[in-house]
Structures are given as C-alpha cells and as structure tokens.
Structure 1
Amino acid sequence: MSRRLLPAATIFFIGTLAASQAGAVSLQAGDWTVDIGGIVNAYYTSVDCTGDNVGGAALAGRGLGCAGQDHKTTIGNGLLPDGLVTKFKTSQDGIEIGGTIGIYAATATSSGIAANSGVDVRQAFFTIGTAEAGTLKLGRDYGIFGSSAILSDMTLLGIGAPVQATQIGRVSLGHIGAGYTYLGNYGQLAYTSPVLGGGFTFNGALVSPVDVGVNYYASQAGPQYQAQLAWAGGGFKAWIGGKMQHFADVGAGTGGFSEKAGEIGASFSSGPFGVLANFQTGKGLGILTDGDQGNIKGRNFLVQGTFMFTDKLKFGLNYGESRNSDDNSLNATLNSAFKSNSNVTGGLYYSLTKSITLAAELGQTRSKDYLGNSAKMVGGSFGGIVFF
C-alpha cells in the first residue's frame, strides 16, 4: 500500500463518514455538483476452528468463526463492503451544502442461485456549514465513537478477523469485537467544529437510540450522546471520546442500565514507520455494538505497528482484545459467562495502482469464557480492493 493510496483509501472511508472525496464521475447542473464513486473488493479466505464450545459472542468458535464447521472457505468482502456512493454539494447564500447517499451490498452469499438483493443503506445525510462556524450534519451516518480506531486499522483494506458468520452475506470484522466496538450507523444530528486553536477539532452528536433485542433491552426516551475531541500536529494524532445511552429492561429481569463508555487513543507516523494505540472502556460498552452484553463492564484495546518497505509495499502487525470485565451471575445469565475475544493479524498491502490495493493477511483469533473454555480460529486471506 503506497503513501499515495493509504490517504486516498482513508479519505474514501471518511467520505463514507463525511462526504469529503469526489467520485469517479462528476456532474454539474447549475450550482450543484454531483459525484458518483464507489468501492468493490473480494478476498479468498480460509479458516480453521479448534477448541471448546465457548458461550456468548465467541468470534473464534465454530458457530461464528467457521459458520458451524471445523473448516470454511469464502470468497467475499473484507472489512469494507461493496458500495455505490453518491455525493452532492453546492454553495448558497454563503452556506456550504453537501450530502451523501451510500448503498452497500455483499459479495458472498450462501446460495449460487438466490438473488443477492440485500441492500445496506448505511448513509443518507446532508450537511450545512461555513468555514468559520463549522458543519452540521442531519441524517443517517456512521457514529463518532470508535471512528478513529477503525479508520486507523490497517485491516480496513483487508480482512482482519475472518469471521465466516459475518463474511458470508456481509463483511469480515477487522478488529470489531476483538479490539474495538463497531462505530455503528445511526440517525443523527451532528456538529463538527472548524480547526480550533492548537490543532483541536470537536465532534458531537445527538444519536437516535438503539435497542438490544438479543438481551431484552430497549432504548428509553432520550437520545444517545456521542462526542470526540481530537488533536493533530507534527505526525501525531490523539483523541478522546465518549458515548452514553439509557436502556430499559423489557424481559431480562435484571433492571435497566446506562451505557457509559469512554475512549482514548493516539497514532504517530514518521518516514516509513507508523504506530497506533486505542483503548475503550465502560459499562454497557458491548462486544460488537451498543449494550449487547447488557449491564456489564467491558474494555477494548488495539495496538498496531506498520512499516513501508517501498512506496508501494507495506507490512503491518496488530493485536486487539475485547473483554467482559465482570465475572458474575449477570454475565453468566446474559452472555453464557463470555470473557474475551482477541485477534492478532499480520498483513502485506501492495499498491498495484493508485486505485487498487492487493492484500494478503494471516491471523489468529482466540475466544475464552469464565468457565475455562477456549477456542481458536486460524485464518488466511488474499485478494484486492478498488476505489473508483
């Protein structure tokens, strides 16, 4: 992956977060500019699952990791889906107006004859703002909490944890559930400040609250709140963030709870070297998404190092873990005493052109519960991704 392509790929995914990159086709009609672009990717992935039956969200277990088998092969998406992204912008009365509609689909399904008609509309929002006042976003988009971790994850352009239960019909997980909680897709009213003194930027959002049906919890009257303060300068980036939502008990018999989670992280790049560390913790943080473990304290961390051998070839190694910190009866009742997922991935990323990256990864995922059971999934993948 070249120094040219990595920012472009990151900008594209930020484009799925903030509509900042022009597409392959640009149309002009009066004061409006409409850009159409997208992404297509596919990876040959093979996994092997061994060990015990681990309860809960065990990514390395046969049920999730190998889709119910000991071994599994899939040719499907990596962490990013296939997508067609339309962006629009104009300037009216001194106000910059923009927006994005992103429609996404999966490469692999479990059928060779059924229609692959599952459509994932992750984004449909518009923005208004000025350089002096900042930008207000209204609509459906990715969340703020966790965005810095997933955008900095080298496996964004590859596979990461090759969980077959999600790669078939959707995407692989990168380090979702084994290093960070998914940043989520929400209806929201969000504000992004201009760059403040000293290189700081603030993001805050009122987010449409979500339910956790698997554990019998539902959202309450108020919204979810998300915020992040970030700083950049001299090759360094740093961020702190948080989110909060109240959940009501609608059948678990354990009482409602408040999701209160925090995050801190930093990255640094110098010449061919890059490093990253990110940490998340809180009550109701969840393994995969908001509150999916109930009123349980959790923590996630991700560490990563990368090295550019040439302008086209990058090597990276990262390790992440997601863990339920509470070993108690509530965790046993809701999550079958689930303890942790961890994943280590090594990858090579080669920039074939400015639009195409080829990737090869090897990794191991482990899952544990508080009953002493453990499972292991070993997986490898190779393939490529194109942005247009």
Structure 2
Amino acid sequence: MNKKLGLAVAGAVMAFGASAANAAITIPAGDWTIDIGGNVNAYYTHTKFSGDLKTAGTEDVANTVQTGLLPSALGIGGKTRQNDLDIAFQFTFFTGVDSGNGGAAGGNNSLNIRQAYLTFGDKSWGTIKAGRDLGIFGSDAILSDMTLLGVGIGAGSGGSSTLGRIGSGYMYADWVGQISYISPNWNGFSFAVGVREPWSNSADASGSANGSNSDIRNDMGYEGKVSYEWTGDYAGKVWLGAISQKHDVNTGSVDNYTSRGWDLGGKVNLAGVGLVGYYYDGKGLSGSTAASLSTAANGLLFLNGQKSDDKGGYVQATYALPGVGTKLGLSYGVSKSEADATNVKFENKSWIVGAYHPLTKSLNLVAEYTDNKLENIGYSAGQDGKAKTVSLGAILFF
C-alpha cells in the first residue's frame, strides 16, 4: 500500500488525535478550510460454517456482497486558527452495501454517524477533544490491523461491516462519547487520556434482568495511553494503554465490580517488511455471550453482566513486493474469556491471509482467506464452531 493510500486509511477512520487533513477535497471558506473525504468498499464473501455455528434448519454456506471491516464512509470536517487556537470539527457518516432480506431496500445496513466531535488546542500544549470518536484503549490495535482494508472474521452475517480481528486478537475500541486530552508530540513521545460515556452491563441494557435500569449505576469510563513513535528507514511505534470503569449494582443477584484492562503493542517497518505484536489483559471486559458468529466474536466492552477474566492478542507480518506494491500479509490472533459464574473458557482464534494490491493511488484490490474457530460459544461447554471465509473485493478512498 502506497503512502497516500495509507494516509487515506488513517483519515477515513480518524485515528485518535487526527484531523480531516488527509481528505482529498479541500474547500477554502473564509477563515475556514473544509475537507471532504471517505471510502467506498464492497466484497464478495463465501463463508462455510461448521459445528455449532451451523444451527438447525440453516445452510452451512453463506454467499454475500457486503462491506468489510471499514464501513463505507463520507466525512466532512473543518479547521481554522482563531485567538491562537487550532479549532476543528468532524462529522463522518458510515454505511454498508449489504441489502439483506432477499434484496429488499434497506436490508441489514443503516446510516450511522460514528463521528461528531470538536477539537481545540495548540501544538505547544496539546488538544482537547469533545464528542463522539474512536476510543483510546485498543485504538492502535485496530488501526494496525491489515484487515482494515479487507474483511477478516464475521462475514456472512449481514450488517454494515464485518469484524476484522475484533474479538479475535483485540477488544473493540468503539465509537464513544468522550472528553479527551492529547498531548503535544515531544520528539516522538506523546500521551492521551480521556473520560468516556459508560457502558452498561447486560442487565442494565435490557432493563429486565434486575427489575429496572435504576438497579444498576455505571460510573464514567476512564482510559489513556502513552506511546513513542519514530521515523526513518526503520520506522515504528510502541504503546501502552489502560481502561477502567466501575459498576455499582443495587441487587443481590450481581456483585459490584470494576471493568479494567491494559494493553501493550508495537509495530515496525523496514524495507517493505511490517511486523505488529499486540497483547491485552483485563477483568470484566468481554461481551462474548451470544451464540452467533457476529455477536460472539464482537467482544464489546462491559456487556457481560459479570466480571470475566479476559486476555488475548495478535501477531502480524506483511511484505510489500518491490516495484509491484502488492502487500502480502499473514496474521494470527486469539481472544479468551473465562466467566466467573460458569468457569467455562470462551476462545475465539483465527488465521488470516491477505493480499492488498494498489491498482491506483486511490483504489485497492483485496483478496483474503480467514480460518476462524470458536470454542465454548457463549460460555456453553462443548459448543464449538468454525467459519472459513474467502473474500474478494475492492476499496476506494477519495
């Protein structure tokens, strides 16, 4: 993947602290500069299910045309300099291409405004962000995932996106309401801290398991990371992050607990070779309770209703063919969760092989093969399944 396409990826998903500077369309508007950019992608996916992922009365093969891990998006942002402050805003609209329901209009995808935030600050003291954007914890893991340009796991179930390695190597950073501070860059070193909207556990979300939503009070979530990045022929980055949120439960059926976790990762690039290594560990993080592939693999934070023991990580190697530009990649990842109540270990692991070819500076052709295995689905002992997916498609950045 060439440099411009790499910047487009970062611009499309708006990595933490980034602005819309990578957009392809720039419009001067008085004191403001308006940026417009985004992506469109579509993939043919062929998924074969086996074991308990193939439920009674369903086919064991799913063929779809769908969006990959990165939903198709249109982003509109603006920036200006006023009273010695850099001020910016960003709105990004995400959607998918899967019509679902036998081709009925609308189908399984919808319009989702995942980004709506403002920033203000100065390079001398840092930046404040307020609004909805990608969370801090786990953000580098998903932004370093090669399947950001492709499909990964979770194909064949419809919806506006697949899962990449979410729930099979890292927890989902998600798009959350937040107030965050991003430090200046001190010769490669930087940090970010923030308070984020709280996630509720399953009882609070349903409003029925414990009588009413008032039975459970969730404090705000807190997250942060420190990182060091360097450039040159041997470029790379290392980071360390953490997250915490307390759950106060006013019922005898569920104990009070604190969801917390930490992660450590690094990546390097040298002469076309890229290596990524990532690990996370925590308590009460997993949301892997459902029996379907898409939700069991999702790994949303704090939705389990109990304090599980969670850990996982992934390793990834890529190589860009000289002169051709095609990037070949291989990655392996696993996520494990053990529920306190059942003492059953859920495991989601996968191998992914991919080829990503820049047909032009804006258009990438993608081919992937994914071998995904789930053990003790939904913390049910002996409920195991596999999903093997071949995906072919393209992603266009503008």
TM-score normalised by L of structure 1: 0.89
Q: Which amino acid aligns with 1:121?
A: I
Contact 1:45–1:162 (Cα < 8 Å) also in 2:
no
CA distance in 2, matches of 1:95, 1:37: 24
Contact 1:50–1:377 (Cα < 8 Å) also in 2:
yes
Task: Tell me: CA distance 1:25–1:250, structure 2 relative to 1, closer, same or farther (3 Å).
Answer: farther
After TM superposition, give the deviation of residue 17 of structure 1 in Å: 6.3
Within the alignment, does 1:295 sit opposite 2:307 as a pair? yes
Where in structure 2 are the equivalents of 1:1-388 lying within 5 Å?
Answer: 1-14=1-14, 18-51=18-51, 53=52, 61-62=53-54, 69-111=59-101, 112-115=103-106, 118-165=110-157, 168-196=158-186, 198-213=187-202, 220=217, 222-233=219-230, 234-249=234-249, 253-286=253-286, 287=288, 288-293=299-304, 294-311=306-323, 312-326=325-339, 328=340, 330-331=341-342, 337=344, 339-369=346-376, 371-388=381-398
The structure showing larger relative contact order (alpha-carbon pairs under 8 Å, at least 6 residues apart) is: 1
Q: Secondary structure at the match of 1:98?
A: strand
CA distance in 1, matches of 2:253, 2:119: 42
After TM superposition, give the deviation of residue 376 of structure 1 in Å: 1.1
Contact 2:16–2:136 (Cα < 8 Å) also in 1:
no
CA distance in 1, matches of 2:155, 2:224: 30
1:146-186, CA deviations, whole angstroms, 9 ceiling, x for partnerless residues?
11110000000000114333xx1221100001111110111
| Residue in 2 that maps onto 1:57 | none
TM-score normalised by L of structure 2: 0.87
CA distance in 2, matches of 1:3, 1:91: 27
Contact 1:299–1:325 (Cα < 8 Å) also in 2:
no
Q: Which amino acid aligns with 2:300?
A: T
1:231-274, CA deviations, whole angstroms, 9 ceiling, x for partnerless residues?
01251210000001112447792212110100001111111111
1:29-48, CA deviations, whole angstroms, 9 ceiling, x for partnerless residues?
21011111111100000100
CA distance in 1, matches of 2:319, 2:309: 35
CA distance in 2, matches of 1:249, 1:221: 8
Q: Secondary structure at the match of 2:14?
A: helix
After TM superposition, give the deviation of residue 95 of structure 1 in Å: 0.5
Q: Which amino acid aligns with 1:324?
A: S
After TM superposition, give the deviation of residue 383 of structure 1 in Å: 0.2
CA distance in 1, matches of 2:384, 2:104: 37
CA distance in 1, matches of 2:172, 2:163: 9
Contact 1:2–1:313 (Cα < 8 Å) also in 2:
no
CA distance in 2, matches of 1:8, 1:274: 18
Number of residue pairs matched?
369
Task: Tell me: CA distance 1:127–1:192, structure 2 relative to 1, closer, same or farther (3 Å).
Answer: same
CA distance in 2, matches of 1:257, 1:43: 41
After TM superposition, give the deviation of residue 338 of structure 1 in Å: 5.1
| Residue in 1 that maps onto 2:291 | none
Q: Secondary structure at the match of 2:78?
A: strand
Kindly, what percent of the aligned residue pairs are identical? Answer: 31
Q: Secondary structure at the match of 1:91?
A: strand
Which ranges in structure 1 are unaligned for 5 or more consecutive residues? Answer: 54-60
Contact 2:14–2:134 (Cα < 8 Å) also in 1:
no
Which ranges in structure 2 are unaligned for 5 or more consecutive residues? Answer: 289-298
| Residue in 2 that maps onto 1:56 | none
Q: Secondary structure at the match of 2:110?
A: coil
Contact 2:199–2:303 (Cα < 8 Å) also in 1:
no
Contact 2:170–2:280 (Cα < 8 Å) also in 1:
yes
CA distance in 2, matches of 1:123, 1:271: 35
Contact 1:285–1:299 (Cα < 8 Å) also in 2:
no
Contact 2:16–2:139 (Cα < 8 Å) also in 1:
no
Task: Tell me: CA distance 1:338–1:119, structure 2 relative to 1, closer, same or farther (3 Å).
Answer: farther
After TM superposition, give the deviation of residue 199 of structure 1 in Å: 2.0
Aligned-pair RMSD on alpha carbons? 2.3
